[in-house]
Amino acid sequence: MRARRIRLMVQSGGTLALVVLLLAGCSSSTPSPTSPATTPAPLVCAQLLPDLKCSVVSMSTFTTVDIGRFTVGFDPKVLRSSSAIGVSLQSDVAKDLVRIAALLPGPPAVIIVEQTTNVTPQTGELGYTDPTTGQVLIQLDPNSQTTFSKTLAVWLPEALAHEVHHSVRTLTGPGFGNTLGAFLVSEGMASAFFHQAFPGTDAPWDNALTPVQEHALWDEAQPLLAQGGVPVYSQWFYGGDGVPEWAGFTIGYHLAEAYVRHHPGTSAASLVDAPASTILAGSGYAP
C-alpha cells in the first residue's frame, strides 16, 4: 500500500499499499497503498493472468518472467534505464523475491515493474497492491531526488517486501482493512516485514515523528481507530488537519514492532494473517 508502497495500496518504502485501494480497488505506503507518495494512477492491468481486468497501458511489449510463485512483468523502459547504469533489473528482482518468498510463503501473485514519474521523490519508487487480486505495481523513476542506483539497490527491495506482505495479507488474511486501526496495522506490519527481510535500512516514513509528536498523535488516534474511509487514510498517512505527513506509517511501524517485541517467536511474516484487533490489543504500544 508502499499501503509504501499507495503502498494503500492506500504508499511502499514503497508502496504503497491504500487510498487507491479505497478509491478504485487498487492499492508503501499502500497504497495494499502502498510506498508513501501521491495517489497513483489507476492500476494497469498486466494481462498476465486471464482474470485480470483490461489495462490502461498495453502490456504487449513487457518482458514477463516467472520467479517462483511470482509472475513479473517488466516495462522495457525501466529495463533500459537500469541496464544503462550497469544493473540487471531482472536478476536483482529475482534475488529479492527469492529472499522474500523464503520468509513469507503465500499464493501466486503478479508483480508489475514500470517506469514513471509518479513516485516518492525521496526514494524514487512507489508501490501499491490491488486489494482484490493481490496484484502488485512497483513504479520507478530514474530521475528522482535520489540516484537511480540507490533506488534499485535499497528502495526497490523495500517496495517489493512491503507490497508482497500486503499481497499475502490480501489473499490469505484479513485484507488491508477499512478503518484507521486496520490501516495502521497493515502498513505497520508491511514496514516491519521490510526490516525483517532487508535489515539495516530505515525508510524516511519509519521515523517521521518526534517522540513528543508520536505520543500526542497516538492519544489523538486511539478514539478514532474504528473510523475509516479515504479522508481518514489521507489525513493520517499523508498529512492534514494537524497530522504531519507519514504519521500513520511511523505509528503503524512502531506499533507492529512493539507487538513483535512483546510476543517472542513472532515476526511480521508470521503475523501476516493476524487480525488488526489482535495486534492493536496485544502490542503494548505506548509512545
Give CA–CA dist 100/160, Å, rounded: 8
Edge to edge, what strands does the sheet with 109-115 contain? 63-67, 70-74, 109-115, 136-140, 125-129
pLDDT at 59: 61
Strands (E), the chain: 63-67, 70-74, 109-115, 125-129, 136-140
For residue 28, the model assigns a pLDDT of 38
DSSP 192-239: HHHHHHSTT---TTTT-S-HHHHHHHHHHHGGGTT--SHHHHHHHHH-
Residue 219's domain spans which residues?
A: 19-238
Q: Residue 276 in contact with residue 181, Cβ under 8 Å?
A: yes
Residue 29 buriedness (CB in 10 A; 0-12 / 13-18 / 19+): buried
The predicted pLDDT at position 27 comes to 35
In a domain, 265, yes or no: no
Question: pTM here?
Answer: 0.84
For residue 276, being part of any structural domain is answered with no
The answer as to whether 219 is a domain residue is yes
Classify residue 284: in a domain, yes or no.
Answer: no
How many domains would you assign to the chain? 1
| Domain contains 12 | no
- State how beta strands 70-74 and 109-115 pair: parallel
Q: From first to last of its 287 residues, what are the pLDDT tens digits of the chain? A: 543 343 333 333 333 333 333 323 333 333 333 333 333 334 444 333 333 333 444 566 789 999 999 999 999 999 999 999 999 999 999 999 999 999 999 999 989 999 998 889 999 999 888 888 888 999 999 999 999 999 999 999 999 999 999 999 999 999 999 999 999 999 999 999 999 999 998 999 999 999 999 999 999 999 999 999 888 999 999 999 999 999 999 999 999 999 999 999 999 999 999 999 999 999 999 99
Q: Is residue 10 part of a domain?
A: no
Helix, strand or coil for residue 120?
A: strand
